[in-house]
A and B are shown apart, each in its own frame.
Chain A
Amino acid sequence: GQQLNQSPQSMFIQEGEDVSMNCTSSSIFNTWLWYKQDPGEGPVLLIALYKAGELTSNGRLTAQFGITRKDSFLNISASIPSDVGIYFCAGATNFGNEKLTFGTGTRLTIIP
């Protein structure tokens, strides 16, 4: 099935550092969402974006809906140990259903 490309695939950072990751698609999406998944758990919704160019924050997390509608970005400021996990982007076209297409994921590891 179709998947969105996320980069980087994995990140190794120190606590307190800022993190940036992105998600790109060959198709246009009308909605972008960002999820975080901890090992053995279901994905947790972090941020939802509904308009091209929109910038939305949730605490230390900030996400942007790319102007071309083919990409989205997630930034985490001042990382803390509980930020460890896999971050997924998801896109939707909204055409009569709510099917989400998920990205390949970015695995975030914090080095002690």
Chain B
Amino acid sequence: DSGVTQTPKHLITATGQRVTLRCSPRSGDLSVYWYQQSLDQGLQFLIQYYNGEERAKGNILERFSAQQFPDLHSELNLSSLELGDSALYFCASSVGNLEQFFGPGTRLTVL
């Protein structure tokens, strides 16, 4: 158990819908990262927050957004969902260095 929690574990929704994925980092970690893992793309970095502020952005679509709240939990919002958004979404956290600890993931299925 990494100490990072993610909810929900599974999510099934329809195209065009909007969903919110939630992540709670390990106690004491200020950085939260979001990654997408699909079969043909591997693990792709989406976005990083550090102590409530956005620090780095990867290949995150405009339809996706994230935020980190004062209690350091983070949410990833995915809107206007398409079939191709079906993937595993992982959250990771760290104290601010490179050793990132991953949560169990949310499996999103868009039908």
Contacts and interface: CB of A to CB of B under 8 A. Distances in A.
A43 B102 contact: yes
Contacts of A97: 48, 55-56
Interface in B73-100: 90, 92, 94, 96-100
Contacts of B33: 98-100
Question: Could you say which interface size class chain A belongs to?
Answer: 20 to 34
A98 B43 contact: no
Nearest to A32: B98
Interface string B24-61: 00000001010100000111110010000001101100
Given A98-B48, A98-B94, A42 B2 contact: yes
B100 A42 contact: no
Interface in A37-52: 40-45, 48
Interface of A: 1, 3, 31, 33, 35, 40-45, 48, 88, 90, 92, 94, 96-105
11 contacts: A1-B44, A1-B45, A31-B98, A35-B102, A42-B2, A42-B92, A42-B102, A99-B45, A99-B58, A100-B98, A102-B44
